[in-house]
């Protein structure tokens, strides 16, 4: 752990990190308690006084240096992520690239935090609005994007002038440690960024109770997000919550079916289906269901599962056995209610997978709304196919979920593309686009998928306060 510019090698306990591909121990990390979290908050609070006063260009220069070192250590970051959470190396390399993009983009954006001047009714008044950093930020991140979820929070925070205490997920502390080594190497002053791994409840409680922590930025499950929101009420904390999703993926009969199949295969099976934006409900219009399913099965059957470090692997293991059990439960429940397995549908049987947490890439047909998979997030490599008749019907079905993160649809009809995009109740809509995310765009959900944005100039606002200054001139 890294507190006030110093590494803590020994904590009250340790986390043992295992490679989900084979169960081998790949690292051990010190776990700290409430006292160290409070120490980190104090350090961040003290550092805020100087970091927030630096000219934006100086903060940017530190961040450019971070981006440069990350580029030099790209392969190291990618391999570490794969080792601890399993995703295929090609996916992990893509993640590291976007993680660097966040640092670079916000290094640039930090220099463009403009205010406003507002004309008033009174001739003797001058009114302006300035933007200032909110203060110390508590950031809690998940394991499924072990590198980019950290830089997606830290980059706008640092650029805005905030200081940060990060708690990474217990299943991916090694990537976090590596990122903090890079911060140290880049010369980020002591206390500006702090890393604490500990009991999730204890750490978050210390953050929520502290009046010095002005904002919480959380990415993870809706269940935990709700708890944090309730816990933050006492100190009226500003909250950004990036929570779970249940994305619809709609294929209209006028769509380019090959494009729609490719989009689904890359979006659904990336990271073994463990992404918040991955497709949970595939709706295919009746007249093209057979052609679509045939093409999909062909592509999914060709996916190779294996150790993420093996260059031939397309789909790595799930993060742990609990993840495998969830996919298994969803498939069993669906099949017992009439769904048909078109491909996959079980753990791989070959001996080389025996010690890992693998599940075969799976496609289910004849899925309906009575099945668990139609309303619970699977977080695994299972694509369930529903059919629909009309545009009106599918929009209603797609919106029938408490989640509102990502949604996708495929069509070649221009009018339909606008009509449907406007009616989908999700923070992100991909039209013929299964990967609509870059550092420059506002990523975030609505409904129970959370609030706040990450990415783009919108993401910067999350770390700023607006202050009205009214000056009455003397006669």
| Angle (CA) 71 76 82, round 5° | 120
Burial letters 439-458, b for 16+ CB under 10 A, else e: beeebbbebbbbbbbbbbbe
Residues contacting residue 139 through CB under 8 Å, at least 6 positions apart: 150, 153, 154, 157, 164, 165, 166, 167, 216, 217, 218
Q: How far is the CB of 302 from ligand NAP (least distance, A)?
A: 27
**Choice between 85 and 182, CB closer to ligand NAP:** 85
Binding-site member from 219, 285, 293, 387 for ligand NAP (CB under 6 A)? 219
Residue nearest to ligand NAP (CB): 220
CA distance 409 to 418: 11
Contact letters for ligand NAP, residues 340-379 (x by CB under 6 A): -------------------------------------x--
- Which residue's structure tokens are 């339909």? 416
Task: Restricting to residues 53-92, name those near ligand NAP by CB under 6 A.
Answer: none
Residue 308: which of 93, 96, 17 has the closest Cα?
93
| Angle (CA) 176 177 179, round 5° | 65
- Residue 245 in contact with ligand NAP, rule: CB under 6 A: yes
Q: How far is the CB of 146 from ligand NAP (least distance, A)?
A: 10
Binding-site member from 26, 200, 289, 303 for ligand NAP (CB under 6 A)? 200
Total residues contacting ligand NAP (rule CB under 6 A)? 26
Bridge partners of 132, per DSSP, are 465
Element spanning 364, H or E: strand 362-365
What tokens were used for 322? 């609990």
Residue 156: which of 406, 439, 436 has the closest Cα?
439
Task: Restricting to residues 153-192, name those near ligand NAP by CB under 6 A.
Answer: 167, 169-171
Task: Quote the distance between the C-alpha of residue 306 and its chain's center.
Answer: 24
Stretch that binds ligand NAP, among 39-47, 67-75, 217-225, 350-358 (CB under 6 A): 217-225
- Residue 144 in contact with ligand NAP, rule: CB under 6 A: yes
**Choice between 167 and 281, CB closer to ligand NAP:** 167
Stretch that binds ligand NAP, among 236-244, 298-306, 337-345, 380-388 (CB under 6 A): 236-244
- The side-by-side arrangement of strands in the sheet containing 428-431 is 340-343, 362-365, 382-388, 279-285, 247-251, 406-410, 428-431
Stretch that binds ligand NAP, among 56-64, 138-146, 308-316, 430-438 (CB under 6 A): 138-146
- Residue 221 in contact with ligand NAP, rule: CB under 6 A: yes
Q: How far is the CB of 244 from ligand NAP (least distance, A)?
A: 3
- Residue 242 in contact with ligand NAP, rule: CB under 6 A: yes
CA distance 356 to 371: 28
**Choice between 105 and 292, CB closer to ligand NAP:** 105
Q: How far is the CB of 472 from ligand NAP (least distance, A)?
A: 45
CA distances from 21 to 118, 307, 317, 403 (A): 59, 5, 6, 31
Enzyme catalytic residues: 242, 276
- Residue 142 in contact with ligand NAP, rule: CB under 6 A: yes
* Contact set with ligand NAP (CB under 6 A): 140-145, 167, 169-171, 200-201, 204, 219-221, 224, 227, 242-245, 276, 377, 405, 445
């Amino acid at each position: 752990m890294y507190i006030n510019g110093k590494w803590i090698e020994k904590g009250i306990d340790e986390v043992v990190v295992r490679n989900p591909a084979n169960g081998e121990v790949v690292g051990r990390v010190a776990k700290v308690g409430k006292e160290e979290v409070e120490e980190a908050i104090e350090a961040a609070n003290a550092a805020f006084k100087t970091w927030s006063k630096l000219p934006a260009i100086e903060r940017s220069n530190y961040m450019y240096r971070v981006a440069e070192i990350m580029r030099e250590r790209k392969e190291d970051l990618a391999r570490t992520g794969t080792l601890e959470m399993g995703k295929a190396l090609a996916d992990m390399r893509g993640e590291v690239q976007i993680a660097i993009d966040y640092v670079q983009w916000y290094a640039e954006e930090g220099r463009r935090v403009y205010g406003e001047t507002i004309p008033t009714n009174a001739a003797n008044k001058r009114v302006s609005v300035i933007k200032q950093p909110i203060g110390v930020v508590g950031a809690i991140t998940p394991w499924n994007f072990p590198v980019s979820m950290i830089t997606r929070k830290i980059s706008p925070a640092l650029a805005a002038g905030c200081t940060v205490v990060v708690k990474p997920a217990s299943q991916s502390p090694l990537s976090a440690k590596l990122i903090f080594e890079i911060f140290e190497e880049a010369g980020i002053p002591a206390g500006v960024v702090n890393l604490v791994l500990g009991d999730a409840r204890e750490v978050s409680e210390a953050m929520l109770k502290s009046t010095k922590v002005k904002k919480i930025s959380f990415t993870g499950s809706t269940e935990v997000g709700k708890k944090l929101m309730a816990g933050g009420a006492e100190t009226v904390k500003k909250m950004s919550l990036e929570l779970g999703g249940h994305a619809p993926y709609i294929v209209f009969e006028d769509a380019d079916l090959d494009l729609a199949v490719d989009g689904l295969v890359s979006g659904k099976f990336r990271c073994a289906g463990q992404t918040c934006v991955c497709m949970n409900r595939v709706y295919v219009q009746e007249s093209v269901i057979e052609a679509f399913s045939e093409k999909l099965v062909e592509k999914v059957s060709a996916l190779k599962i294996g150790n993420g470090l093996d260059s031939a692997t397309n789909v790595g293991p799930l993060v742990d056995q609990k993840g495998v059990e969830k996919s298994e439960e969803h498939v069993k429940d669906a099949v017992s209610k009439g769904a048909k397995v078109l491909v996959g549908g079980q753990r791989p049987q070959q001996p080389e997978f025996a010690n890992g947490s693998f599940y075969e890439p799976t496609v289910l047909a004849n899925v309906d709304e009575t099945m668990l998979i139609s309303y619970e997030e699977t977080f695994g490599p299972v694509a369930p196919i529903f059919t629909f008749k009309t545009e009106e019907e599918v929009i209603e079905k797609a919106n029938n979920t408490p989640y509102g993160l990502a949604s996708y649809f495929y069509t070649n009809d221009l009018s339909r593309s606008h009509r449907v995009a406007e009616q989908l109740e999700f923070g992100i809509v991909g039209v013929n686009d299964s990967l609509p995310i870059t550092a420059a765009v506002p990523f975030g959900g609505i409904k129970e998928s959370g609030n706040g944005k990450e990415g783009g100039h919108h993401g910067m606002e999350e770390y700023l306060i607006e202050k009205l200054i009214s000056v009455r001139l003397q006669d």
